[in-house]
Structure 1
């Protein structure tokens, strides 16, 4: 097998390093770095075509190591971001690295225009969502591997989303594409409403799942065995560390970036499941999730794009996921599709024909009835029968 199939996933790490370099360079380079990442993935997916390769990996430990290194990479990025908003040279970091590189990091930080700190926030939020949540998603499914679970939970702590490790594995995968799943957005819902509702209902679902688990084990709900409470404490600890590094500016940047990362997760949930329906008495099939095989998105996101197969067989590692060419397709790659969701009128206009096509071509008889009812409730004219639009 070609070495490229191992190296291609290093695009993930290269993206994180590019973000770190932009933050270190300071000034307009922060905004340039953010813009470069957006352009690389939107244009790259548009021009790079699909990756439908399914190689057999003989050294899976190397790929697991790539996942684990996301934690130090993300921690390093956040340290640099916190240093960039600090009033002091934390641990002499700027002087030390400036001496090694010959670049005046302290001067660049001093000259950074306030507006570029908006780019710092967006870049950190994007990286928390990408380096943190995407990797954590893969790791928390490895319920047989305590180290992977621990690293995954710490990665989720950066986005205040310990509930995801519980609700996603034990709730979402069971109820996907039904009204019981907080992450599945019904037809007609905007992405902004979904971010709020999915977050609230997801945490409530995680609490219920954890409470039932603790009851089966004979443990108290409010105790150390509660994984949800431990997760909240992990996030609180990270906020405290951010405060120690750079005071309130750092703590506020960390909180804002973490919430941005959490919002990105819910937007991705929205893209992956919007409007799809499933007969709750039938097993999950590839047709119950939106799929994408865009090359750059697949390489930089550990095949998260092959979401249809992931939901059909959630226990499989990302290297074993198949492209599922007959599954319903997203508009494009992940970042391109994400940007479209932020414009609800455009999103609903583009998705309406795809939903109607799914209703005709892929839905079961029961699901077509569910879809007809969902279309009537959606408030979207293009989804209603022609007779009712007059």
Structure 2
């Protein structure tokens, strides 16, 4: 293992050596599926299905509460320390820890779905636990998929297999990052757009975009879209092989569980997408091109606990400005618009459009000084929003 990052860069004379105070706390991210897996063992051992509802309780209640109690962490690593921090293999080991625990949980959950003798309440909790972790796993795949090493990118696709969302690997890097915070991006929510309107738009739009991107890439090599080099097909094949193996082991009865947990996990990704860029817009220059993506084009959150469970995903502004930067080195920017809570505290709010609009629309308009023309607005909501904001604009 590489040396601790502070050993690789010399601080200025008289300056104290810097240490990552969150170095071991990052284990909360890597061990998250293992903690959830313990609940499955407890449910099986005791026969108490309440254990299967522990993870939803943690996600939707405990983590938001701890975010509120512990507050924010806006500290950044010294830039001189960043190269050594990114080389430190400890952080990669924490990232990789997630993968075997995720698959162990998924396999055990599939077995329980068929042979656990669970009633409707137990099966619902099992879906929320397994699908919840496989939804969070998309964030692990996101971190791996942005890296230069080919083995990390392949592992990213493997992590996406249980949730059947392998095309995310293609669309996120080559579609979303290019079009982020524009009306053309299916993964950037618009001001006045409800999550329930956004969900079908982003699911269908992301799938179409991923296929189009791969068809273009392969055509440039003189290959058709159904060639085995199609990265969408490669990723989906991993899901087919995983599901086929589980069906061969447990029978067709396991398939509905796999599909429902995958749907729940995928919508967890999409509700986070909904939160990350809601209403934000990159402006066009005189040449008609969109300005370069900057920190102000992503909603940021520095809430401690949810960031520790999500590999700093909530420092999303720095991620879009520097996609290859590893999670432990992501920074807070003062000019980035700030969310009122971590993602965990906003998930349920996003499901209730009036509550979401009440919480977030004023923040979007404050970010743009009341100028509706500068925001990414849902076309059907423009007149309503203009009426609502005319007093503040005038």
TM-score range, shorter chain: 0.7 to 0.9
1:358 corresponding residue in structure 2:
367
TM-score (norm 1): 0.86
Alignment deviations for residues 183-216 of structure 1 (CA, whole Å, 9 cap, x no partner): 0111111112211110101111111111111111
Post-superposition shift, 1:37?
4.2
TM-score (norm 2): 0.85
Gaps of 5+ in 2: 1-17, 44-48
Moved more, 168-177 or 31-40: 31-40
Post-superposition shift, 1:127?
0.5
Q: Please say if residues 19 and 34 of structure 1, whose CA atoms lie closer than 8 Å, have aligned partners that are also in contact.
A: no
Q: Output the CA distance in 1 between the equivalents of 2:76 and 2:60.
A: 27
2:97 corresponding residue in structure 1:
69
Post-superposition shift, 1:69?
2.4
2:318 corresponding residue in structure 1:
309
Q: Please say if residues 306 and 321 of structure 1, whose CA atoms lie closer than 8 Å, have aligned partners that are also in contact.
A: yes
Post-superposition shift, 1:237?
1.4
1:348 corresponding residue in structure 2:
357
2:35 corresponding residue in structure 1:
18
Give the direction of change, closer, same or farther, for the CA distance of 1:285–1:158 in structure 2 (3 Å limit): same
Alignment deviations for residues 96-118 of structure 1 (CA, whole Å, 9 cap, x no partner): xxxxxxxxxxxxx45x4431210
1:96 corresponding residue in structure 2:
none
Give yes or no for the alignment of 1:141 onto 2:163.
Answer: no
One of 104, 111, 120 as aligned partner of 2:126:
120
Q: Please say if residues 64 and 306 of structure 2, whose CA atoms lie closer than 8 Å, have aligned partners that are also in contact.
A: no
Give the direction of change, closer, same or farther, for the CA distance of 1:383–1:342 in structure 2 (3 Å limit): farther
Post-superposition shift, 1:33?
4.2
2:167 corresponding residue in structure 1:
163
- 3-state DSSP of counterpart to 1:385: helix
Q: Output the CA distance in 2 between the equivalents of 1:275 and 1:10.
A: 33
Q: Output the CA distance in 1 between the equivalents of 2:392 and 2:316.
A: 35
Give the direction of change, closer, same or farther, for the CA distance of 1:191–1:383 in structure 2 (3 Å limit): farther
One of 233, 239, 264 as aligned partner of 1:235:
239
Q: Please say if residues 51 and 298 of structure 1, whose CA atoms lie closer than 8 Å, have aligned partners that are also in contact.
A: no
Moved more, 266-275 or 306-315: 306-315
Post-superposition shift, 1:155?
0.9
Gaps of 5+ in 1: 88-108
Higher share of residues assigned helix: 1
One of 93, 103, 108 as aligned partner of 1:80:
108
Give the direction of change, closer, same or farther, for the CA distance of 1:372–1:66 in structure 2 (3 Å limit): closer
Alignment deviations for residues 269-326 of structure 1 (CA, whole Å, 9 cap, x no partner): 0000111111242111100110000001111111101001111222222222111133
2:209 corresponding residue in structure 1:
205
Give the direction of change, closer, same or farther, for the CA distance of 1:58–1:309 in structure 2 (3 Å limit): closer
1:105 corresponding residue in structure 2:
none
One of 43, 66, 77 as aligned partner of 1:44:
66
Q: Equivalent residues in 2 for 1:170-181 (5 A)? A: 170-181=174-185
Q: Please say if residues 31 and 98 of structure 2, whose CA atoms lie closer than 8 Å, have aligned partners that are also in contact.
A: no
Post-superposition shift, 1:167?
1.0
Post-superposition shift, 1:36?
3.5
2:14 corresponding residue in structure 1:
none
- 3-state DSSP of counterpart to 1:47: helix
Equivalent residues, number: 360
Post-superposition shift, 1:255?
1.3
Q: Output the CA distance in 1 between the equivalents of 2:99 and 2:127.
A: 19
Q: Please say if residues 192 and 385 of structure 2, whose CA atoms lie closer than 8 Å, have aligned partners that are also in contact.
A: no
